[in-house]
Amino acid sequence: MMLHVAQGIIANTDQLTRADQAIGDGDHGVGMARGFTAVEELLTNSEFASIHQGLKAIGTTLMSAMGGASGAVFGTLFRGGAGGLQETTVFDSHALYNFLDQGYKAIQIRGGAEEGDKTMLDALGPAVRAAREHIQETIDRSLLAIAAAAEEGKEATKTMVAVHGKAKTLGERSLGYVDPGALSMSLICRLMADYAASLT
Amino acid sequence: MSKAKKLLNDPRQVVAESIEGLIAASHGRLEELPPGGVVVRTMIPEAKVGVLVGGGSGHEPLFAGFIGTNLADGAACGNVFAAPSPDVILCATQAVDRGRGVLYLYGNYAGDNMNFDIGAELAADEGIQVQTVRVWDDVASAPLERVSDRRGIAGDVFVIKIAGAAAATGIDLDDVASVTARARDNTRSMGVALGAGSLPETGEPTFELGDDEIEVGMGLHGERGVAREKLQPADVIVTRMMDYILADLPFESGDEVCLLINNLGASTMIELLIATRKVHAILSEAGIRVHDTLIGSFCTSQEMAGYSISLLKLDEELKALYDMPAESMALIKR
C-alpha cells in the first residue's frame, strides 16, 4: 500500500510544487518527490519483520532523504505513528487510528503547531477523528472516511492565516491558498484509500 | 516569468557537485564526510568547543564557505532552501566534536529548528553536549515583541565570526553560547529585493515581482516583506531600511558598529557601494561609529537581485572577538 502512496506522491510533484510556489518557496514538490522516491526504493528492495519496523523505516527514510521541515514532519508522522504498532500484525481500522493518532501527537510535540495554524495538522486532525469514528468498520471504509476528512481539512486551510513555516510572514496574504503540507497529507490519505479500494 | 538559465548538470546533484567544487578549491583544508552534505575542516584543533553551522543550500557561500580558522568547524548542508536532515547533522556533530561540546548556529526557520533539535537529541544519545543559538536578525519578519519569530538572514555572518573566535579562545560551551547569543541579540538586518532567484531543480523563480517593483524586507526565500512598491532612488530605500534597523535595537549615538552590505546574488558592486556610502552618511549623522565594513556576497538567495544591510553593535568583548584574524572561502580577516 505504501508503495502505491510513494508512487502517487511522485506522480503529483508538479501539483505540490505549484501549491508551495503560491505561499512558500516552491520546493515542497521536489522535496516530497525526493523523499518518496527513496521510500519507493526502500519498499522495492527490503523486507520488513513487522508493520512497526516497516513504518519506522519509512519515517527514517523520509527524514533523511527529504530534509527540510517536511522531512522532519512527515518523518515524525511515520516514526511516531509506528510507535503504538509494535504488536500489530494486520493493518486494520484499529491500527489506522493508532497510527494517525500517535503520528499527530508526535508532530505536535516536534513542531509546536496547533490545528488552525494552516499546516498539515489541519488535514491530519480531521483524519484522526474520522479514523476514531469509523474504527469498527473495515479498513477500506475507514480509509475512505479519513481521506474525505483529510480533503475537507485541506480545503479548509484556504480560510486560515499561516502561523508556521515559510508562509507565516505572508499573514493575511496566505488566505485563499491551500497549505502545501495539508495538500500532501490529504494526498497520502487519498492514495491509501484508493489502494485499499482497488483490492476489493 | 520564464524559466531561469543556469549551467548545471543533473539538477538533482547541484548540492553534491557544488560541495565537490568547494572541497577542491580548499586545497586540503576541507573535506566531505558521508552521508553527503557534511563538510568539515580537516584540521580542527583539539580541546575546543566545536562550532557547527548549517541550513539549506542555495545561500552560498553560507554555510560551508564559512568553515575555517577561527570561524566554523563544520557545516551540515541541506538541499536547496531545505534544512539538513538529522542524520547529516549528527555526523557533522560527531566530526567537529573535540570533547568539549558543540555549538549549533543556524538561521531561525521551522525546518532547521526541527531537524537540528532532532540532531541535538541524537547527539545527546552519543554523549555529546550541544547548545544552540538561532539567528533572528531580520527586522522585517516580525515585530520586536516576537523577536524569536524573526528569520535569520545575513546577520548570520557576524554571529559566526563571533562564535568562531570565542571557541578558538578555548572557553567552555556555556560561555561560547552566551557570547554568541549576545552577538545575535546585538545584530539587526533588513533586505530589499528587486528580482527573484530560482530553484536550480525546477528553474522556477521563488516569487513574482513586476518589472518596476521592489519589495522592502523580503526574506531569503522570497518570503514577503513589509512593503511592495515601485522602484525609487537608492538613497530613499536605504534611508527607509536604516530607519527600521536603527530604531529596532535601538542603535544610538555613541554606539560602535560593524556594517555588512550583503549582495543577495545578482546586484552589482556599484549598487552595493552606493548603498554603503549612504549608510555611512546616515550612521555618521546619527553619531554612530563604524568599526568595520564588509561588502559582498555572503548570504545569497541564488540569483536574487537586491541586497541586505546588517549592523552588529559592539561592546569591548565582541570587538576583540570580531578583530581576531580568520580565514575561510567566504571571509578572510587579517
The CATH code of the domain at B11-185 is: 3.40.50.10440
Are A26 and B206 a contacting pair at CB < 8 A? yes
User: Would you tell me which residues 131-150 of chain B have a C-beta closer than 8 angstroms to some C-beta of chain A?
Assistant: 141-142, 149
- Best A10, A15, A16, A30 residue to mutate vs chain B (most B CBs within 10 Å): A30
The CATH code of the domain at B187-323 is: 3.30.1180.20
Given strand B305-313, what is the order of strands in its sheet?
A: B227-230, B213-216, B187-195, B305-313, B256-263, B289-296
CA B222, CA B217: separation in Å to the nearest integer?
10
- Best A64, A161, A169, A174 residue to mutate vs chain B (most B CBs within 10 Å): A169
Give the residue among B184, B166, B153 at the shortest CA–CA distance from B50: B166
User: Would you tell me which residues 273-312 of chain B have a C-beta closer than 8 angstroms to some C-beta of chain A?
Assistant: none
pLDDT at B248 over 80: yes
In chain B, whose CA is at the least distance from the CA of A111?
A: B114
Counting one residue from chain A and one from chain B, the pairs whose CB atoms sit within 8 A come to: 106
Q: What is the mean pLDDT of chain B?
A: 96
Secondary structure element (H or E) that encloses residue B215, with its range: strand B213-216
pLDDT at B89 over 90: yes
CA A133, CA A97: separation in Å to the nearest integer?
9
User: What's the confidence (pLDDT) of residue A48?
Assistant: 86
Residues B104, B128 contacting (CB under 8 angstroms): no
State the burial class of residue A67 (Cβ atoms within 10 Å of its Cβ: 0-12, 13-18, 19+). Answer: buried
Residue B221 annotated as catalytic: yes
If you average pLDDT over residues A66-83, what whole number do you get?
A: 92
Q: Is the CB of residue B197 less than 8 Å away from at least one CB of chain A?
A: no
Q: Grid coordinates in use for A123? A: 488535514
Q: Is the CB of residue A175 less than 8 Å away from at least one CB of chain B?
A: no
User: What's the confidence (pLDDT) of residue A12?
Assistant: 75
- Best B85, B148, B206, B264 residue to mutate vs chain A (most A CBs within 10 Å): B85
Are A67 and B88 a contacting pair at CB < 8 A? yes
Q: Grid coordinates in use for A46? A: 527490503
Which DSSP letter does residue B259 get? E
Q: Which residue has the cell 576583540?
A: B320
CA B107, CA B149: separation in Å to the nearest integer?
11
Q: Are strands B102-107 and B50-57 parallel, antiparallel or unpaired?
A: parallel
CA B30, CA B72: separation in Å to the nearest integer?
11
Which DSSP letter does residue B286 get? T
Residue percentage of chain B with pLDDT more than 70: 99
Q: Where in chain B do CATH 3.40.50.10440 domains reside?
A: 11-185
Q: Is the pTM of this model over 0.80?
A: yes
User: What's the confidence (pLDDT) of residue A169?
Assistant: 63
Across B264-325, the runs of DSSP E, i.e. the strands, are 289-296, 305-313
Q: Backbone phi, then psi, for B262, in 5-degree steps?
A: -105, 120
What does B47-113 look like in DSSP terms, one character per residue? TS-EEEEEEEESSTBTTGGGBSBTSBSEEEEEEETSPPPHHHHHHHHHHH--SS-EEEEEE--HHHH
Q: Grid coordinates in use for B164? A: 568562531
Q: Grid coordinates in use for B174? A: 556555556
pLDDT at B1 over 70: no
Residues A139, A99 contacting (CB under 8 angstroms): no
User: What's the confidence (pLDDT) of residue A16?
Assistant: 75
Q: How many CA atoms lie within 13 A of B150 on its CB side?
A: 29
Number of folded domains that form chain A: 1
Are B114 and A65 a contacting pair at CB < 8 A? no
CA B140, CA A185: separation in Å to the nearest integer?
31
Range of the domain at A93: 2-199
Between residues B174 and A197, the one the model is more confident about: B174
Q: Grid coordinates in use for A121? A: 495538522
The alpha carbon of residue B80 is apart from the nearest alpha carbon of chain A, in Å, by: 8
pLDDT at A24 over 70: no
- Best B109, B114, B136 residue to mutate vs chain A (most A CBs within 10 Å): B114
Cβ atoms within 10 Å, residue A11: 13
Are A67 and B83 a contacting pair at CB < 8 A? yes
Residue B134: strand pairing partners: B106
Q: Residue B111: its chain A contacts at CB < 8 A?
A: 67-72, 165
pLDDT at B12 over 70: yes
- With bands split at pLDDT 50, 70 and 90, how would you rate the model's confidence at B271? very high
Per-residue pLDDT tens for A98-155? 999 999 999 999 988 999 999 999 999 999 999 999 999 999 999 999 999 999 999 9
Lowest mean pLDDT among A64-78, A94-108, B20-34, B80-94: A64-78
Between residues A31 and A172, the one the model is more confident about: A31
Q: Is the CB of residue A18 less than 8 Å away from at least one CB of chain B?
A: no
Residues B110, B58 contacting (CB under 8 angstroms): no
pLDDT at A53 over 80: yes
User: What's the confidence (pLDDT) of residue B2?
Assistant: 66
Enumerate helices (H) and strands (E) in chain A, giving the number of each: 9, 0
Rg (C-alpha) for chain B, rounded Å, is: 19
Q: Is the CB of residue A32 less than 8 Å away from at least one CB of chain B?
A: no
Catalytic residue (choose from B27, B221, B280, B291): B221
User: What's the confidence (pLDDT) of residue A26?
Assistant: 65
Q: Is the CB of residue B36 less than 8 Å away from at least one CB of chain A?
A: no
Give me the interface pTM, i.e. the ipTM: 0.78
If you average pLDDT over residues A84-93, what whole number do you get?
A: 89
For residue A67, give the nearest of B85, B151, B205 by CB distance. B85
The alpha carbon of residue B33 is apart from the nearest alpha carbon of chain A, in Å, by: 15
Q: Where in chain B do CATH 3.30.1180.20 domains reside?
A: 187-323
Q: What is the mean pLDDT of chain A?
A: 87
Question: Could you tell me the CATH number of the domain that includes residue A99?
Answer: 1.25.40.340
In chain A, whose CA is at the least distance from the CA of B197?
A: A25
CA B295, CA B298: separation in Å to the nearest integer?
8
Lowest mean pLDDT among A29-43, A166-180, B224-238: A166-180
Q: Residue B84: its chain A contacts at CB < 8 A?
A: 67
Are B224 and A25 a contacting pair at CB < 8 A? no
